[in-house]
Amino acid sequence: MRGVPAVMEASLSQFRYTLHRLTDRQVLLLRVGIAVVLLLGVGAPLAGAYKVWPFVVAGVADGSVYGLAALGLVLTYKTSGMFNLAIGAQAAASAYVFYSLRIVVGLPWPIAAVLCLIGVGLGGALIFERLALWLSDAAPVFRVVTTIGLMVFLQSLLSAAYGPATLTMPAFLPTSIVRIGGVNVSVGQIIIVALGILATATLYLFFRRTRLGVSMQAVVEDPSLLALQATNPDVVRRYAWSIGSCFVSVSGMLVAPAFGVDVNHMLLVFIAAFGAAALASFTSLAGAFTAALAIGIAVNVVSYELSSSANVVVNSFYTQIPFLVLVLALGLLPKRRLAERGAARVRRFKPVRTFPRELVITTSVIAIAAAVAIPYVVTSADIDQYTEAAGFFIILASMGLLLWTSGQISLCHMAFAAVGAVTLGHAEAAGLPWLLGVALAALVALPVGALVAIPSFRLSGTFLAVITFGVGLLFQNLLYTTFLMFGSLGSIDVGRPHVKLFGLDLNGDRGYYFVALVAAAGAALVVVMVRRSRLGRFSRALSDSPQALEAHGTDTRLTRPFVFCISAAMAAVGGAMVAGVTGSASSYQAGSFGYFTSLVIVAVLVFCGRLPLLSPLVAAVVLEVLKIYPPFDRTGYINYQGVIFGVLAIGAAVLPGIKISHLGRRAAQRTDPGRLSARLEFAMDGVAG
Amino acid sequence: MSAPSNANLVVTDLTVRFGGLTAVNRISLTAQAGTITGLLGPNGAGKTTTFNACTGAVAAAHGTISLGRTRLDRYSTARRATLGLGRTFQRMQLFDSMTVAENVAMGPESGFAARRPWGQLFEPRAERVQIVRRRNDAMGRCGISDLAGKIVGELSTGQRRLVELARAIASPFRFLLLDEPSSGLDVSETMHFGQILRDYVADTGVGILLVEHDMALVADVCSYIYVLDFGQLIFEGTTRETLASEIVRAAYLGSDAVEDAISSVRYERADAAEVERVV
């Protein structure tokens, strides 16, 4: 029997080796084969047995819409290296414009659709193409931040302009019914599916058979080399973005009658496209469309199967499928299939400016004195805003530690903050002292952070951002309403310390402000200590060159999770402080702990700079304090502040990449052939040996 | 960190495939401790792929890699480094946001941190003392002590090459793989580089496997040379035998004119050295 494990191991090894050797075409064929076997062998009998054919048909139609968006996503990622996290917001913009033209202006739908395609599809393409050009040699984190900025910008703009209510869009495709295989299918659904299949087939052939298609794939790896082959990389990029952006725009219009026109809802609906793209390793167009179909079918069939359950979590489980697919796909895909596009030509961060020690000490003393004086000079109504700023400083400092020290990005940081808030709430409810509750909040966040950080063993840059985005959504939609967190009411009481210190009641507004201030000072100390420690040096080195660090013996799989855990624990303490301001924490989407706040804090932090403590401080003031003083206290500013945050974040991300060489690149290329020859030689060196 | 015993690098029947392409085909080589061994070949011959396979950056389809009596091919890149196999990169891999001193110190610091699972979190004072000693020694050996406080991203190519070498020799490696270390250096910098390598090997007994296109440097420092072409070993021999080989000339050097070029480079270096001595 001793030989059996050895034989199994050898067989497994041989199997892995065989998989490793497969070409992309063989992998595609294998996937299609598996999909067909599953569909015919498992899907069909199950569907027949459980009478779910109508849901399968509806799923195919929904999946086709997701598929169009996924095609746009994969196409633009393949050609620009920029993963467009904002496709949901872009699709929503398309739906709103279509709604305005069709319902408000009263245009016939074909004309409204064409105008929408020109405005949102091609207009969006123009913007994205420019951004992609400026970000072509930027670190992945800046590309992610740009799309987050776009998402924040569009969501805030659309919410402010159209209001929070879901707008109803009447169906515009034919609704007449035909029967196929005993199931009623609308002509509109048939048109949508046909459109999706046609788009996939055309793009597939275009990439395989045409010179422009091949060029589109080459442009992200080295545009200069492409230029040497008499193909203008700018034109190639523009085509790719035009096609991709129009696909997203069309999917936004198609989805509107079924789901309503609501930007917050659409951001979530289009996560299915992310999941499909992830299943297709962000490269295979046919794979992305097939995966989108599968997700569409799964969502519809599961919704039918679980609709009879009395449990709300089980009943609405189908809404979590796209998020689960996204997280599982990124968590389980082989690392070699998740190579970051265009990562070979990354421009390094400029070192952070350092200031003279005397200046730092003097400024710190003045800042501390000002912070201590604040509750005595501002109105009592405003103290809470400053306290909340102190809480957000901790969260922002923890994000800065992650972002600028180890080069990781987390789009689920408010989930850690929520863990901290609810842990303190539960601890207080169990009768534990406040201070112990806060310590417990940090401790509980450590394993949660470790769990979320597991993907960072193998993922970084764009893919880590995408998976943490999915995790943030899963927390909000699956865990927030459970007894572990906010409970079915969606809200939990979080108290303040019931202690008097030097005559100051820490339960009062002024006293609690000082509590939060001390916590913020502690967080600042942690940031300084981590940056100066061995872990801080390893994190910075990892951010600069993981290959060099590994080549000297460092197991980089440990470095990232260590920083992630510390950052999560800090965010949890920050969350506990923020929740204490109002005395409760809630899971509502508009509340502080929603996934969207995670995006906003990244956007704000990025445009406030890369200084480890000053940038989070400025960001906290911008987020929480600015809005209580004129002219920022006006409703107009508060409604549209997300628009400003989005624009500033995009500006901060792309500004280092906008150079004279980019603006006058074509002229420079014409007049300086030597420069391109040098690039060619350099690139050949890269493949040599 | 106790002084490690130096060891030979032995590569046996190494094959590396990328899909259908065989980049390295059953090559075997032995690089002796205490000597500098050359690995030559034209672009695309498989030199860097061989290095990558030795360090575990790419998976070998077949073959073994041993350092002394230790089989390395079962381990990760980081583990191979802790077992004593170090390398530099063709496209330099430096920590650009850090200073020269911090870069060089990261070499031995990585080695210490790898000794314990929590080694990345805490830094015992005794380790710090050893790291500083190794760092200063390596910077002094490479002549970059005066650059210690400079940010590496702001240095010239020649200085960056020296920083990468200093980081490698500050680490407690038992064998070094150097991938085109003189690429981008001018003649006097290359001469200086060669001198550092010779002194380091003589002083420490560590072996070096050198991939290099600068034939004059190869001729100066290597005692034995392996030549690859299209992923296969086409020649091995002493430096003199290799440079005289018609096979090597046909595959790599291409024409008789190259011999003249090597000679002229030597004369130029001799002239440069003479000028430096006079100045």
Q: What is the pLDDT of residue A350?
A: 63
By the 8 A CB rule, do A84 and A271 touch?
no
Query: Number of helices (H) and strands (E), helices first, in chain A?
Result: 32, 6
Please state, in angstroms and rounded to a whole number, the distance separating the CA atoms of residues B163 and B138. 9
**A574 has pLDDT over 90:** yes
Q: What is the pLDDT of residue A678?
A: 45
Tokens of A183: 């199931």
- Nearest-CA residue of chain A relative to B47? A689
Q: What is the pLDDT of residue A251?
A: 93
**A48 has pLDDT over 70:** no
Give contacts of A541 with chain B, Cβ < 8 Å. 95, 98, 106
Of A544, A551, A555, the CB nearest to B96: A544
Give contacts of B180 with chain A, Cβ < 8 Å. 689
- Which is nearest to A488 in space by CA: A271, A310, A308? A310
Which residues of A lie inside 8 Å of B (Cβ-Cβ)?
17, 20-21, 23, 348-352, 533-535, 537-538, 540-541, 543-545, 547-556, 558-559, 562, 684-689
Per-position DSSP letters for A445-503, written without gaps between them: HHHHHHHHHGGGGT--HHHHHHHHHHHHHHIIIIITTSTTTTTTTTEEE------EETT
Q: For the segment A126-185, what is each residue's pLDDT rounded down to a tens digit?
A: 999 888 888 877 878 888 899 999 999 999 999 999 988 899 999 888 888 888 767 788
pLDDT higher at A662 or A425: A425
Tell me what the mean pLDDT of segment A233-239 comes to. 78
Angle at A666 between CA A662 and CA A672, to 5 degrees: 100
pLDDT higher at A189 or A670: A189
B209: β partners: B37, B177
The complex's ipTM works out to: 0.87
Residue to substitute from A526, A555, A679, interface B, most B β-carbons within 10 A: A555
Residue to substitute from B43, B87, B106, interface A, most A β-carbons within 10 A: B106
Of A537, A549, A559, the CB nearest to B102: A537
Q: What is the pLDDT of residue A102?
A: 93
Q: For the segment A498-521, what is each residue's pLDDT rounded down to a tens digit?
A: 888 888 888 889 999 999 999 999
By the 8 A CB rule, do A688 and B48 touch?
yes
| Cβ-defined contact of A689 to B46 (cutoff 8 Å) | yes
pLDDT higher at A560 or A247: A247
Tell me what the mean pLDDT of segment A570-580 comes to. 94
| Cβ-defined contact of A538 to B113 (cutoff 8 Å) | yes
Tokens of A252: 């936004």
pLDDT higher at A408 or B9: B9
Of A23, A349, A534, the CB nearest to B109: A534
Q: What is the number of alpha carbons within 13 Å of residue A245 lying toward its C-beta?
A: 25
Of A534, A544, A686, the CB nearest to B95: A544
Radius of gyration (Cα) for chain B, nearest Å? 19
pLDDT higher at B18 or B129: B129
Omega cis (within 30) before A631: yes
Give contacts of B45 with chain A, Cβ < 8 Å. 689
pLDDT band at B257 (very low <50, low <70, confident <90, very high): very low
Q: For the segment B105-132, what is each residue's pLDDT rounded down to a tens digit?
A: 999 999 888 888 788 888 888 889 999 9
DSSP for residue A630: T
pLDDT band at B279 (very low <50, low <70, confident <90, very high): very low
By the 8 A CB rule, do A272 and A473 touch?
no
pLDDT band at A11 (very low <50, low <70, confident <90, very high): low
Tell me what the mean pLDDT of segment A214-243 comes to. 69
| Cβ-defined contact of B95 to A548 (cutoff 8 Å) | yes
Beta strands (DSSP E) in B36-174 are 36-40, 62-67, 70-71, 85-87
Tell me what the mean pLDDT of segment A40-66 comes to. 74
pLDDT band at A442 (very low <50, low <70, confident <90, very high): very high
**B1 has pLDDT over 70:** no
Q: For the segment A618-656, what is each residue's pLDDT rounded down to a tens digit?
A: 999 999 999 888 888 888 888 888 999 999 999 988 887
By the 8 A CB rule, do A52 and A305 touch?
yes
Of B90, B106, B120, the CB nearest to A552: B106
Round the average pLDDT of chain A to a whole number and report it. Answer: 83
| Cβ-defined contact of A689 to B117 (cutoff 8 Å) | no
Please state, in angstroms and rounded to a whole number, the distance separating the CA atoms of residues A647 and A652. 9
**A116 has pLDDT over 50:** yes
Strand pairing category for B9-18 and A500-501: unpaired
Of B43, B86, B114, the CB nearest to A554: B114
Q: What is the pLDDT of residue A519?
A: 96
By the 8 A CB rule, do A402 and A585 touch?
no
Alpha-carbon distance B260 to nearest alpha carbon in chain A (angstroms): 24
**B156 has pLDDT over 70:** yes
Q: What is the pLDDT of residue A103?
A: 93
Of B121, B153, B167, the CB nearest to A534: B121
Interface size between A and B, measured as CB pairs under 8 A: 131
By the 8 A CB rule, do B40 and B212 touch?
yes
Q: What is the pLDDT of residue A430?
A: 93
pTM: 0.81
Tokens of B52: 């990558």
Q: Any idea which of A280-284, B31-35, B160-164 has the lowest mean pLDDT?
A: A280-284
Tokens of A670: 């014409």
| Cβ-defined contact of B78 to A550 (cutoff 8 Å) | yes
Q: What is the number of alpha carbons within 13 Å of residue A457 lying toward its C-beta?
A: 11
Q: What is the pLDDT of residue A584?
A: 83
- Most confidently modeled range among A324-328, A674-678, B48-52, B179-183: B48-52
Of B87, B95, B117, the CB nearest to A551: B87
**A667 has pLDDT over 80:** no
| Cβ-defined contact of A685 to B183 (cutoff 8 Å) | yes
Round the average pLDDT of chain B to a whole number and report it. Answer: 85
Residue to substitute from A554, A679, A684, interface B, most B β-carbons within 10 A: A554
By the 8 A CB rule, do A317 and A305 touch?
no
Of B43, B81, B171, the CB nearest to A688: B43
- Nearest-CA residue of chain A relative to B93? A548
Strand order across the B21-31 sheet: B21-31, B9-18, B62-67, B70-71
| Cβ-defined contact of A689 to B179 (cutoff 8 Å) | yes
Q: b/e map of B13-42 (b: 16 or more CB within 10 Å)?
A: ebbbbeeeebbbbebebebbbebbbbbbbb
| Cβ-defined contact of B211 to A689 (cutoff 8 Å) | yes
Give contacts of B153 with chain A, Cβ < 8 Å. 348, 350-351
pLDDT higher at A672 or A425: A425
By the 8 A CB rule, do A47 and A53 touch?
yes
| Cβ-defined contact of A533 to B123 (cutoff 8 Å) | yes
Q: For the segment A383-420, what is each residue's pLDDT rounded down to a tens digit?
A: 999 999 999 999 999 999 998 888 888 999 999 999 99
Alpha-carbon distance A296 to nearest alpha carbon in chain B (angstroms): 34
Angle between helices B125-142 and B187-204 (to 10 degrees): 130
- Which is nearest to A512 in space by CA: A592, A579, A437, A598? A579
Of A23, A544, A562, the CB nearest to B19: A23
Give contacts of B72 with chain A, Cβ < 8 Å. none
By the 8 A CB rule, do A123 and A117 touch?
no
| Cβ-defined contact of B87 to A534 (cutoff 8 Å) | no
| Cβ-defined contact of B121 to A554 (cutoff 8 Å) | no
| Cβ-defined contact of A548 to B47 (cutoff 8 Å) | no
Query: In chain A, pLDDT over 70 holds for what percent of residues?
Result: 81
Tell me what the mean pLDDT of segment A467-494 comes to. 86
- Most confidently modeled range among A213-222, A315-324, A416-425: A416-425
Alpha-carbon distance A339 to nearest alpha carbon in chain B (angstroms): 14
pLDDT band at A601 (very low <50, low <70, confident <90, very high): very high
Tell me what the mean pLDDT of segment B27-56 comes to. 92
Neighbours of A350 (CB within 10 A): 13
Residue to substitute from B75, B93, B116, B211, interface A, most A β-carbons within 10 A: B93
Q: For the segment B62-110, what is each residue's pLDDT rounded down to a tens digit?
A: 999 999 989 998 899 999 999 999 999 988 899 988 899 999 999 999 9
